[in-house]
Amino acid sequence: MSVTWFASQRYRLAPAPGGLGLVQDFLNTVGIGDYGPDLLADPEMARDWAVRAAHAWSTVRGVDAQPPPLSDSDTAKLHALRGTIAKLVAGEATPGRVGSVTASFAVADTGDVRLEPAGGGWRWFASALWAEILLSQQDGTWRRIKRCHNHACASTFYDRSKNNSGVWHDVKTCGNVANLRASRARRREREEAKNSDI
């Protein structure tokens, strides 16, 4: 099943599997250089992203979820939530409650029990995001959600490497830039060491 995650697609990122794609896409609403603006900086852009993301998530999860309308204040709450989840990805999250977010349980036609987002506005998205994070932590895929180590990029990618050792969203672009920078730094150090020996 082909699903388009709008925010991640603009950075040419392969989507994380299943509902975890929602978390990745949410984190990729951040603006990065020439790729595009911060999709949560403007209420209209945030609403557009929300409709697209809810549709993609509904398709992946096989549910008919209607995205809740977002107010201007919901946009600010989503922006703060993105920062909290980004810290979680970076391993910098502080323990504590995630706020007044709820979810409900439902039984699918197949007999599978699933978590369903609850609440209106930003709370619906927070509920869906925290549920997907919980599920991915339980199935072991959460550790593969990473932020690109190129600080100029900082996109969120899903590490598909066999040993989960990826640090760049794309080795050819971000990896080459970092490797070139490191090579130049090593060359400078060698030259400085050689000059100090003279």
pLDDT tens track for 113-162: 888 898 999 999 999 999 999 999 999 999 999 999 887 788 999 999 88
Tokens 């008919």 -> residue:
64
Give the 3-state secondary structure percentages of the chain, helix then strand then coil, rounded to 5.
Answer: 50, 10, 40
With a pLDDT cut of 70, the percent of the chain lying above it is 85
User: Could you give the CA distance from residue 163 to residue 132 in angstroms, rounded to a whole number?
Assistant: 23
Can you say how many angstroms the Cα of residue 87 is from the centroid of all Cα atoms in its chain?
A: 11
Q: Which of 12, 131, 144, 10 is nearest to 60 (CA)?
A: 131
Question: pTM of the entire structure?
Answer: 0.85
pLDDT in the model for residue 63: 87
Neighbours of 97 (CB within 10 A): 6
List the domains of the chain with CATH numbers. Answer: 6-167 (1.10.3300)
Tokens 């595009």 -> residue:
36
Neighbours of 116 (CB within 10 A): 15
User: Could you give the CA distance from residue 49 to residue 55 in angstroms, rounded to a whole number?
Assistant: 10
Q: What is the mean pLDDT of the chain?
A: 86
Q: How confident is the model at residue 16 (pLDDT cuts 50, 70, 90)?
A: very high
Average the pLDDT over 41-47 and give the result.
Answer: 94
Does the pLDDT value for residue 178 go beyond 60?
no
Instruction: Give the DSSP H/E element, type plus range, for residue 106.
Output: strand 103-107
